[in-house]
Chain A
Amino acid sequence: MFLITCPYCGARDEHEFGYGHEAHIVRPTPAEYEQMSDAEWAQYLFMRKNPKGVHFERWVHTKGCRRWFNVARHTVTHEILAVYEMGKPAPQIDTEKK
């Protein structure tokens, strides 16, 4: 059990949140996906990172303000290294230090 700091409501218990998988996946434009092969489409649709280390992912504050936001979490220690709003670029995180 750990605390997640919602960018709007503040620090709350993990059970108030829902997990939304990997962040920063850009949907191809219609012009792009008409040219894509099935393999490329599958790559976009299904293939996700599974790092041992820092993972950028989406969370939603289900029991609070119901807003989505991004979290940088270390998948080994569960340490939350950054919390930032939707639409913001992923922050630079020094992974060597962790």
Chain B
Amino acid sequence: MVEAYQRRSALNHFGLAARANQGGHATAGVILGESAHRTIINIRGDANDAAFTNAVKSVTGVDVPTKANTVNKAGEVSILWLGPDEWWVVTTPDRSDELVPALRQAFQGQHAAVIDVSESRTVITISGAKARDVLARGISLDLHPQVFGPGQCAQTGMSKCNVLLHQTDDKPSYDIYVLKSFSDYLWQWTEKIATNFGLAIGA
């Protein structure tokens, strides 16, 4: 892992922290930001095996979501459904060193896998009354509140990038997980669209 004091976020060069102080949040239709350096741990295993689900619960404190496209959250830790035998454990930065060995230990003897993928992605956050309108320009999913609400996630394409979209509340707010190498492009694309709806930069 990169030394924390040397680490820069993937979108550092856009100077988002400085722009966040420029205000306009009260009238903005869309608030964009970056949530960098999140801990993301890919886990794979058999959700029908109680030994696996108990192991995940004992380390993270969260139940493995078995319903497609859903997220379970407890405290600072969320588990995002990726597939029938694959999940992401997502939490605050710099917790891989503690969680990865603990999960590996808990999975001993099982057909299961733990991979730290924290450094692969960054998270673009988007919220506000017009957030859905921005996302609709690049995502083919139906994001109407009756269909896609808080606590749901989906892997899909957003303006040619593969992303994982997670709705975190009903403002609405979304986290967009994207590969760091795509994040420069996706940020520029999203910012350009968001400008049409009144844009502010979130801290």
Contact = CB atoms under 8 A, between A and B. Distances in A.
Interface of A: 8-10, 12-13, 15-16, 62-67
25 contacts: A8-B68, A8-B84, A9-B68, A9-B69, A9-B154, A10-B68, A10-B69, A12-B140, A12-B141, A12-B156, A13-B141, A15-B140, A15-B157, A16-B140, A16-B156, A63-B155, A63-B156, A63-B162, A65-B82, A65-B83, A65-B84, A65-B86, A66-B83, A67-B83, A67-B84
Of A12, A15, A62, A64, most buried by chain B (CB within 10 Å of CB) is A64
Interface of B: 68-69, 82-84, 86, 140-141, 154-157, 162
A92 B196 CA distance: 51
A67 B157 CA distance: 16
Given A12-B140, A15-B157, A66-B83, 9 more contacts: A8-B68, A8-B83, A13-B141, A15-B140, A16-B156, A16-B157, A63-B155, A63-B156, A64-B155
Contacts of A66: 83
Contacts of A65: 82-84, 86, 155
A67 B155 CA distance: 12
Contacts of B155: 9, 63-65
Of A12, A16, A65, most buried by chain B (CB within 10 Å of CB) is A65
B162 to A, nearest CB: 5
B140 A64 contact: no
A63 B157 CA distance: 6
B97 to A, nearest CB: 28
Contacts of B141: 12-13
A60 B86 CA distance: 16
Contacts of B162: 62-63
A15 B161 CA distance: 12
A92 B141 CA distance: 31
A15 B158 CA distance: 11
Contacts of B154: 9, 64
A8 B66 CA distance: 11
Contacts of B69: 9-10
Nearest to A13: B140
Of A9, A10, A66, most buried by chain B (CB within 10 Å of CB) is A9
